[in-house]
């Protein structure tokens, strides 16, 4: 009987560890405005993360401590999409319905640059090796380039493009959704296209170990293409029909991606050997965009219709030892096991 109180205290402590160890891996920060519809996110030039709020035509800024500020970017809803930091220290974003490229200072001042053709539908944007910003056009078969002074040049492709990233070879790489191909464009405008994907919905791309990595929405997988044009994969998500969207590479060689239908953040080893998934605490949050923050954490958008939020995932810090996603049932079993161990320890003492 004398061990009753210590036992209860120890059991409660261990159960608390079991219940919070996994939950603390992801923290969610609701946006100040409801129906914000945050889509894509990028590391900013000021040590914060910046993201687009398509539902309200706003650009959001979140510090690594979770403080959010919103800036009105356009008057149109369902407009702002891709976002990237420019070489000029500003944020650049696409306006898909207005067919324009926007530039925002870190103080929130906005300048808009209309594209030459209406209904161009600019979608993703990336900082190029030449100091300019490069973007895809979903409404036209073109890749666009805009200088930091606002001069726009367009390059024709075989079909509409979506994801875009700069490769280790200094070229622009992009996905073509109509044909399921991947394109390579030199800064001088020389185009090469590589057919090879069996599916056509390839929404996002990033540079990573061994080439360019892109999500395959239709097949619920991640794929890779080397800078020589060789395809690898697919690497299927552990959760079926997870509908992966945004993707980013971390400095330790992992690929992180958002599973919009799976309500998880996935982590893929740089050699494609394993995938670990981390459930987002809020149900049906629709994670969409992913970026690696200056703090080394994984930041992502939650595009849920009723509300919006920015998520922060603290990656496992033990090299080579993945921390698996644990369900509620698994946590309960873990807690029970820890409690039983505590009982045995106290009985022997």
Residues 87-118: pLDDT tens digits? 999 999 999 999 999 999 999 999 999 999 98
Count of alpha carbons within 13 angstroms of residue 127, beta-carbon side = 16
The residue count for the chain: 349
Residues 147-197: pLDDT tens digits? 999 999 999 999 899 999 999 999 999 999 877 899 999 999 999 999 976
pLDDT at 199: 64
Residues 120-143: pLDDT tens digits? 999 999 999 999 999 999 998 999
Tokens of 334: 């873990």
pLDDT at 164: 98
pLDDT at 197: 61
pLDDT at 22: 44
Residues 287-314: pLDDT tens digits? 999 999 999 999 999 998 677 999 999 9
Percent of the chain whose pLDDT exceeds 70: 82
CA-to-CA separations, 203 to 3, 56, 144, 199, 244, in angstroms, rounded: 59, 22, 17, 11, 8
Tell how far CA 199 is from the center of its chain.
21
Residue with tokens 């992992």: 254
pLDDT band of residue 51 (cuts 50, 70, 90) is very high
Backbone angles phi, psi at 235, to 5 degrees: -110, 100
């Amino acid at each position: 009987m004398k061990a009753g109180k210590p036992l209860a205290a120890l059991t409660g402590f261990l159960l608390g560890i079991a219940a919070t160890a996994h939950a603390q891996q992801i923290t969610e920060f609701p946006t100040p405005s409801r129906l914000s519809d945050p889509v894509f996110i990028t590391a900013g030039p000021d040590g914060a993360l910046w993201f687009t709020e398509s539902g309200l035509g706003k650009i959001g800024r979140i510090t690594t401590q979770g403080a959010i500020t919103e800036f009105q970017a356009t008057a149109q809803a369902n407009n702002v999409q891709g976002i990237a930091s420019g070489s000029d220290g500003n944020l650049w974003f696409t306006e898909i319905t207005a067919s324009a490229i926007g530039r925002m200072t870190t103080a929130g001042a906005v300048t808009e640059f209309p594209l030459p053709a209406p209904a161009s539908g600019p979608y993703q944007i990336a900082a190029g090796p030449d100091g300019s910003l490069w973007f895809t056009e979903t409404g036209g078969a073109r890749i666009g380039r805009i200088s930091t002074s606002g001069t726009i040049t367009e390059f024709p492709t075989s079909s509409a493009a979506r994801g875009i990233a700069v490769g280790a070879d200094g070229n622009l790489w992009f996905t073509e959704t109509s044909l399921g191909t991947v394109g390579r464009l030199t800064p001088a405008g020389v185009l090469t296209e590589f057919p090879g994907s069996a599916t056509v919905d390839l929404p996002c791309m990033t540079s990573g170990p061994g080439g360019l990595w892109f999500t395959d929405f239709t097949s619920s997988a991640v794929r890779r293409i080397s800078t020589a044009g060789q395809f690898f994969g697919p690497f299927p998500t552990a959760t079926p029909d997870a509908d992966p969207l945004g993707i980013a590479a971390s400095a330790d060689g992992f690929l992180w991606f958002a599973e919009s239908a799976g309500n998880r953040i996935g982590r893929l080893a740089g050699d494609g050997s394993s995938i670990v998934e981390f459930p987002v605490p809020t149900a049906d949050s629709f994670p969409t965009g992913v970026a690696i923050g200056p703090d080394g954490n994984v930041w992502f958008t939650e595009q849920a219709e009723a509300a919006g939020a920015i998520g922060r995932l603290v990656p496992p810090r033990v090299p080579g030892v993945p921390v698996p996603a644990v369900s509620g049932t698994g946590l309960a079993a873990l807690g029970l096991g820890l409690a039983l161990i505590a009982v045995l320890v106290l009985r022997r003492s």
